[in-house]
Amino acid sequence: MAIITLTTDLGDKDIYLAALKGSILKLLPEVNIVDITNSVSTFNIQQAAFILKNSYHYFPDNTVHLIGIDTVYNSFTKYLAIHYKNHFFVGADNGIFSLMFDEEPDEVYEINIMQDLKFLHFPLADIFVKAACHLANGDPIEEIGLRINGIEKKMNLQPVVERNLIKGAVIYIDSFQNVITNITKEFFNTIQQGRRFTLYFKRNETINHLSWHYNEVPEGEKLCLFGISDHLEIAINKGNASGLLGLNLGDSVIIEFE
């Protein structure tokens, strides 16, 4: 069965998400619609990119991922259909794809589907839906646009190495209030080379041991581990790490090696 996933900032309190799903089902009644999340902070492409980058590969090949973040029409932003690692993505060329992809996409097409004027303020339920259903139906990507080279570039905040230190930052806080940094497991292991370490963050808090799971420490105790995204997380077992430790998006963390 064809799959279309949704990653949007539409929430679930208004008519917009219902209109989007209904528009999909009108065109492709048998499609399986999967919500990755519709709770992205408004216009927050960095948050959406992190979520989708770390979840899309769990889906079968040829899944179509419809991205509804910052999609309102303007004269500068293109709407794109992209083929990348056996998946399809439909979204606005606002930098989100460069934040998601580790390599250049296999194919990039600027969608040239004619817009219905009654959907001018809501192209998600028109242009994006038509493109996503076309791809989910197995039809050729080249039939819905013109092939182009390149996508809008934005840069993720990268950790920095200075002598025996890694300087990183908080890039995401999940619904459990676990604090996720921009330090990946691969990057950490490359710099650590088996050495002991101390993780420093706000309020002079420190952690000097990597845990394998959240219950490795007593309830209410802090820990750090590499979670499902392979990024270093700071957590409290059954607690609110962000609130209790005072950690917010953009805050610095430092790892010192001995």
pLDDT tens sequence across 72-89 = 777 777 999 999 999 999
Q: How far apart are the first and last CA of the chain?
A: 53
If asked whether residues 75 and 175 sit together in one domain, one would say no
Beta bridge partners of 91: 80
Angstrom distance (rounded) from CA 235 to CA 245: 9
Same domain, 27 and 74: yes
**157 CA to centre of own chain:** 14
Residues 81 and 118 in one domain: yes
Which DSSP string corresponds to 2-55?
-EEEEEES--SSSSHHHHHHHHHHHH-TT-EEEEEES-PPTT-HHHHHHHHHTT
Predicted confidence (pLDDT) per residue in 94-130, tens digit = 999 999 999 999 999 999 987 766 666 788 889 999 9
> Is 153 among the domain residues?
no
**Pair 118, 211 in one domain:** no
Task: State the pLDDT at residue 71.
Answer: 84
Backbone angles phi, psi at 197, to 5 degrees: -145, 160
- pLDDT tens for residues 138-186? 999 999 999 999 899 988 888 999 989 999 999 999 999 999 999 999 9
What's the CA gap between 47 and 42, in Å, rounded? 10
Residue 120: predicted pLDDT? 61
Task: List the one residue out of 56, 51, 52, 46 whose CA is nearest residue 87.
Answer: 56
For 198-256, write each residue's pLDDT tens digit: 999 988 899 999 999 999 999 999 999 999 999 999 999 999 999 999 999 999 999 99
Q: What percent of the chain has pLDDT over 90?
A: 84
Are residues 200 and 88 located together in one domain of the fold? no
Q: Is residue 113 part of a domain?
A: yes
Q: Which domain holds residue 191?
A: 160-257
pLDDT at 157: 81
Domain check: are 48 and 142 in the same one?
yes
- What's the CATH code of the domain at 171? 2.40.30.90
Strands (E), 93-221: 107-111, 145-147, 160-162, 165-173, 179-184, 197-201, 205-207
